Chain A
Amino acid sequence: MTLRVLVVEDDPLLAFDLADRLRDCDFTVVGPAATVAEALKLIEEAGCDVAVIDVNLGHETAAPVAARLRSRSLPFVALSGYSANQYPSEFAGAPKLTKPVDDKSLMAAIRQCMRACA
């Protein structure tokens, strides 16, 4: 059974590409979700094993999504265009990737966060 990855990314092009890359790596993609509300809904209804989250979703941050995942002990990778010191505290401890990100770093980060949660 393949792992289900929740993709949270507001930029449609990036979301599309990210989902596409994850599928190519044999993940089942949940989403992509462009907003916090959509993401929370998907966590509740579809469920996931791991998540890749863009920290900034337009006018809001994905901090509530990270908090929800953490409360369920679900691992996640944080993705942002901001420098590492600009992350909200909810992302503390999660692997952080700065855009643009290549497949290899992305997969390594997913493996790392899943190991940490295992």
Chain B
Amino acid sequence: MSGTVEREAADSLVTREGLGRALFDSSPDCIKIIDLDGVLEAMNVNGQHCLEIDDINAFCGNHWSTMWPPQERAKVNAAIADARTNRIGRFTAFCPTAKGTPKWWDVIVTPVVGVDGLPAHLVVSSRDITEQRAGEENLRAAYDTFRGVVERSPFGVYAVDADFRMALVAAGAQKVFENIRPLIGRDFAEVLGLIWPEPFASEVISRFRHTLLTGEPYNAPGMVERRRDINSVESYDWKIERMTLPDGRLGVVCHFYDLTERQRYEAALRESEQRTHLATEAASIGIWEWNLETNQVRWDAQMFQIHGIAPTVDCTVPFSLWSGMVDPEDWPRQERLLGETVRRLGYGHRQFRISRGDGQLRHIEAVDTVRTGAKGQAEWVVGTNIDITERKLAEDTLRASEERLRLAADVAGIGRGDINYLQDTITLDDRAAALFGMPAGKALPRRDVHARFHPDDIPAIEAKISDSLDPSGSGFMSIDHRTIRPDGSMVWISACKQIEFSARDDLRQRRAVSGILAVLDITARKEHERQIELLMREVNHRSKNLLGVVQAVARQTAKSSPDEFVQRFSERVQALAASQDLLVNSNWRGASLADLVRVQLAHFKDLVGGRIELRGEPIQLSAPAAQTIGMALHELATNAGKYGSLSNAGGRVMIAWHTTKEPAGKRFEMSWTEDGGPPVVAPKRQGFGSTVIDTMAKNGMSGDVVVAFDREGFKWRLECPAAALW
């Protein structure tokens, strides 16, 4: 009906615009012309194909929206409304074709302006975007799947994008990066630098860059490194390859395998294998029956296996074959033990070596039981054999290593204590027990051992023990302290202790379980240190005292002989120094009197033994006595040289000393006797020299001094208790 009229209207429209007509016919899209009310007027042929319409007349004259599923019609009407107000309406919507093929459309509704400048018709261009949309959706789905697969992967997988940033991290890789936050989007080089030390971090970074650039995959050999962030040693196998990431750009994907865990598993596995082995060993017990009458031994299959020979038909071997396989060195003892067991009708337990059929040396453990006959006589010996070679070797290795350790401890003189915190006891070895003065090899209450600590050292020791027991600490302590043994003797000990805690992973549950204590006797070292300290103290004291003496000598010399001060003072200081030298040479143990006389008469040393005669027994002087007598000798020699018997060509000096035993104790006497010198005249005034030989000698030696200016020669005599020499 009116379809024809409208077709004509549309025809006239497209005819009016030749270009439009051409577009209308050739466009692969579905082009429709609708009126301002939305009634379909015309559709191009391609459009009819797209919509799988056989007869367009069935649609023309109907409202365009009726072609759409009800849920999409609002979009259609909105676009029409837009176009009627001279705008472009656009929407994307779903609409099946006339034959029901599901399709997505990108629809543009454009007004066609009439002569009055107002929209007269609307042109609708619908493009089939079903395939494009499906592609996008597939891509999105693929992207989501990839991401999901990677992120949920329990394996160590992560990806670095084209900008060298962390793009993806699998669940299984999260643990490695758990300290790095934020992680996704972070610069990969920075992330590695936080986790690994140099140069390892830089090596890995350059591997990744190389793969990103060239596409060459890289298979890393197993690595073991200490992490910078958590300071634990970890081990990984890893490989990297270049891939196109979901963003369409190239990236590097790293797969790694945490060997740290695997190594733990392997250790656990080894342990369980060892257990299995022990179980197998236990299961591989060979059983035998020895008939004492026939001297034949019946073996089970395991016995043949243990001995490395093929089973015999009747499973029996002569006893001589068996005994012949026992190592000749071990046989005599085995024969004796077996004999005893048979005699006692009892039970035996032996270990020996055999040379197997294949030549291997094996260690065997045997148990024997005697079975008696009706008259109570030994009839059979039955028993078991176990090949314990592996166990034996392990034991030997262990023993050897323990032996080496013990030897090292012996050489170093280290004593050992094993602490059991659960029982609150310490077991000391011989050396440690000697240091504490307690019994060795016995579990002693800790407090009993602690009771041996020197009271002055207890606060320091207790502070250290308390620190070492802190479950968050290292459990190590070391301290030098004293112990008082039951006999009252004191020992200096250097002690080190390492505590083992339980439940290592949970701090709250961690508690001290056991500890190893190593103790070393450092009494001699401490004594040496103490002596050095005393010596330093003494040296300090003596040098200050000596400076006081030098000061006194200077003052007194200046006072009594101002004219000759420099000469007299330097002589006196030299005299002091000479006495000092003697004392220093003997480590301050004192000086021999004869030596003291010689050094103080050094000016006249050529005369000693000639004009100067020394006569006296060997006597040792203490430091103060050496100083007092030394100074007196110096002054006596000076005076003799200036005025007395050493001032001319023929005078003589006799220096004599001796000790005498008196009822009140030993006495000491020393004399200086001059003769042959110029006639003696007593000095008019007392100088410092006189004071030194008289008052000072008297006071210094708690004795008496007699000074006589006899005309034929000067005489000096000191008499004091011998105790004053010391």
Cβ 8 A contact of A20, one of B537, B547, B556, B624: B556
Question: Which of A40-48, A70-78, A79-87, A109-117 binds B?
Answer: A79-87
Which residues on B sit within 8 Å (CB–CB) of A99?
A: 544-545, 547-548
Q: Tell me if A68 counts as interface (CB < 8 A to partner B).
A: no
Which residues 688-716 of B sit at the A interface, judged by CB distance below 8 A?
691-692, 695-697, 699-700, 702
Q: What residue in chain B is nearest A82 (Cβ atoms)? A: B541
Q: Tell me if B631 counts as interface (CB < 8 A to partner A).
A: yes
Which residues on B sit within 8 Å (CB–CB) of A101?
A: 548
Q: What residue in chain B is nearest A33 (Cβ atoms)? A: B699
Q: Tell me if B550 counts as interface (CB < 8 A to partner A).
A: yes
- Contact across chains for B540 and A14 when beta carbons are under 8 A apart: no
- Contact across chains for B548 and A11 when beta carbons are under 8 A apart: yes
Which residues on B sit within 8 Å (CB–CB) of A65?
A: none
Cβ 8 A contact of B540, one of A13, A58, A81: A81
Q: How far is the CB of A76 from chain B (nearest CB, A)?
A: 18
Main secondary structure of the interface of A (DSSP, over half): mixed
- Contact pattern, A 85-108, Cβ under 8 Å of B = 1, otherwise 0: 010000000000011111000000
- Contact across chains for A17 and B556 when beta carbons are under 8 A apart: yes
Given contacts A20-B556, A34-B702, A101-B548, contact A10 B624 (CB under 8 A): yes
- Contact pattern, B 109-150, Cβ under 8 Å of A = 1, otherwise 0: 000000000000000000000000000000000000000000
Q: Tell me if B555 counts as interface (CB < 8 A to partner A).
A: yes
Q: Tell me if A64 counts as interface (CB < 8 A to partner B).
A: no
Which residues on A sit within 8 Å (CB–CB) of B541?
A: 56, 80-82
Q: Tell me if A21 counts as interface (CB < 8 A to partner B).
A: yes
Task: Please report the C-alpha to C-alpha distance between residue A86 and residue B534 in the assembled complex, in whole angstroms.
Answer: 12
Tally chain A residues at the interface, Cβ within 8 Å.
25
Cβ 8 A contact of A12, one of B542, B544, B551, B697: B697
Given contacts A32-B699, A81-B540, A81-B542, contact A13 B555 (CB under 8 A): no
- Contact across chains for B553 and A13 when beta carbons are under 8 A apart: yes
Q: What residue in chain A is nearest B691 (Cβ atoms)? A: A16
Q: Tell me if B584 counts as interface (CB < 8 A to partner A).
A: no
Task: Please report the C-alpha to C-alpha distance between residue A80 and residue B699 in the assembled complex, in whole angstroms.
Answer: 20
Q: Tell me if B385 counts as interface (CB < 8 A to partner A).
A: no
Q: What residue in chain B is nearest A56 (Cβ atoms)? A: B541
Q: Tell me if B549 counts as interface (CB < 8 A to partner A).
A: yes
Q: Tell me if A15 counts as interface (CB < 8 A to partner B).
A: yes
Given contacts A21-B555, A98-B544, A100-B544, contact A15 B537 (CB under 8 A): no
Q: What residue in chain A is nearest B701 (Cβ atoms)? A: A12
Q: What residue in chain A is nearest B688 (Cβ atoms)? A: A16
Task: Please report the C-alpha to C-alpha distance between residue A86 and residue B538 in the assembled complex, in whole angstroms.
Answer: 11
Q: Tell me if B552 counts as interface (CB < 8 A to partner A).
A: yes
Q: Tell me if B600 counts as interface (CB < 8 A to partner A).
A: no
Which residues on A sit within 8 Å (CB–CB) of B555?
A: 17, 20-21
Most chain-A Cβ atoms within 10 A of its Cβ — which of B552, B628, B631, B702?
Answer: B552
- Tell me the A residues contacting B by CB distance below 8 Å: 10-18, 20-21, 32, 34, 56, 58, 80-83, 86, 98-102
- Tell me the B residues contacting A by CB distance below 8 Å: 537, 540-545, 547-553, 555-556, 559, 624, 627-628, 631, 691-692, 695-697, 699-700, 702
10 residue pairs from A and B, CB less than 8 Å apart: A11-B548, A11-B624, A13-B696, A14-B549, A16-B552, A16-B691, A20-B559, A81-B540, A81-B548, A82-B544
